[in-house]
Chains A and B, each alone.
Chain A
Amino acid sequence: AQTVTQSQPEMSVQEAETVTLSCTYDTSESDYYLFWYKQPPSRQMILVIRQEAYKQQNATENRFSVNFQKAAKSFSLKISDSQLGDAAMYFCAYRSAGAQKLVFGQGTRLTINP
């Protein structure tokens, strides 16, 4: 079974600075998708960024980018120019190409210091 591990329960960063959240996963499959979801306090989870395993190029979405290392099974999220609205729980998630369910990590709580 696939597992996703987020080793940083909490992170904090000064507003306008850059922060990187770590995620590793374990799978024997070669075709899969990886996601970062954001869950603000008392609000619903939203997708931040996705990466297809067959793509070598790292995904970027505005201030958010990933560092996808397939051989190392690592998928980190970099947030540039951190804003107060980035404060949330961030979850890394895995989905096999042949399946529907998402497998989530334990989450990292990100605090933005003004």
Chain B
Amino acid sequence: DTGVSQNPRHKITKRGQNVTFRCDPISEHNRLYWYRQTLGQGPEFLTYFQNEAQLEKSRLLSDRFSAERPKGSFSTLEIQRTEQGDSAMYLCASSSPGGTTTYEQYFGPGTRLTVT
């Protein structure tokens, strides 16, 4: 079990540019989540996948944001035309149904985005 991995760990971009982040969940986990965490705040839910299906999206996920999980394994989160308000830590988590884990979510280290 190698844990949830995210790449890149840090991204600095200029306002108006597009950025894409990648998340690789724990291999047997079929559920994948994206959260956003701004400085000094708790994470806020963005979206959730079960296998390749995107089942829930937050109102926070504006039209500039898109997430995919094409083969039910890794996921990408793209932000188009970045704004300074997009600066945050983007966290990915995964979980597996069944057993006694009550869908415990395991988090990755996050991608810190800075928009200048």
Residues in chain A within 8 A of chain B (CB atoms): 4, 33, 37, 43-47, 50, 52, 91, 93, 95, 99-107
Contact = CB atoms under 8 A, between A and B. Distances in A.
Given A43-B109, A44-B110, A91-B42, A100 B102 contact: no
Contacts of B45: 101-103
Contacts of B33: 100-102
A100 B104 contact: no
Contacts of A46: 107
Contacts of A105: 42
A102 B105 contact: yes
Interface residues of B, number: 26
B85 interface: no
- Give chain A's interface secondary structure class: strand
A36 B41 CA distance: 15
Interface of B: 3-4, 31, 33, 35, 40-45, 48, 55-56, 58, 91, 95, 102-110
A101 B93 CA distance: 10
Contact of B102 (A44, A50, A103): A50
Q: Which residue, of A44, A46, A95, has the highest number of chain B Cβ atoms within 10 A?
A: A44
Contacts, number: 53
B42 A44 contact: no
Q: Which residue, of A43, A47, A105, has the highest number of chain B Cβ atoms within 10 A?
A: A47
A104 B109 contact: no
A44 B103 contact: no
- Chain A to chain B: the 9 pairs with minimum beta-carbon distance, closest first: A104-B42, A101-B45, A45-B107, A44-B109, A100-B48, A91-B42, A104-B43, A44-B107, A107-B42
A80 to B, nearest CB: 23
A47 B104 contact: yes
B42 A101 contact: no
A95 B104 CA distance: 10
A107 B38 CA distance: 12
A77 B3 CA distance: 26
Contacts of A106: 40-42
